[in-house]
Amino acid sequence: MKIELRLKEGEKKVTKMFENTFIPALVFRKYYVLEQEFNVLNEEPTIEQMDKVIALMVEAFENQFTIDEVWAGLSTFTLPEKIFEFVLTVKGVKINPTEEDLKKESEGTPATPSGDTTEHQESV
């Protein structure tokens, strides 16, 4: 997952890109506990609940930035998008699968339980 934040360095604003390819299972565990409190994707969260999700995102990125830097560094359009992407990533959903990911998926599972790919018609 990548996140691009506008940060203040001295008197000027700079854009920094952060990337994390490894989300620890501990973050999933903490997210699961949080999801028992409220459904991040389907409810309108309070500011306190948003802070909890963002704090988990900060933890997933190994504290390379702060909660306040996320609030200040993302636009009102980008923040919900990044939270959504983060939640899906934590749940193990590939947002932008690579060619290799797609190839593994297509090779891994037979089309039918028996492996037979011929079409079957149901008799009425």
Residue 14's pLDDT is 94
Per residue in 7-61, pLDDT tens?
Answer: 988 899 999 999 998 999 999 999 999 999 998 888 888 999 999 999 999 999 9
Q: Is the dihedral of CA 90, 63, 71, 4 positive or negative?
A: negative
Residue 95's pLDDT is 74
Half-sphere exposure of 31 (CA within 13 A, CB side): 24
Closest CA to 5 of 73, 51, 64: 73
| Residue, of 51 and 99, whose pLDDT is higher | 51
- What the block records as the tokens of 113 is 């339980």
Residue with tokens 């994707």: 41
Closest CA to 42 of 92, 103, 83: 83
Q: How far apart are CA 80 and CA 26, in angstroms?
A: 23
| Residue, of 95 and 28, whose pLDDT is higher | 28
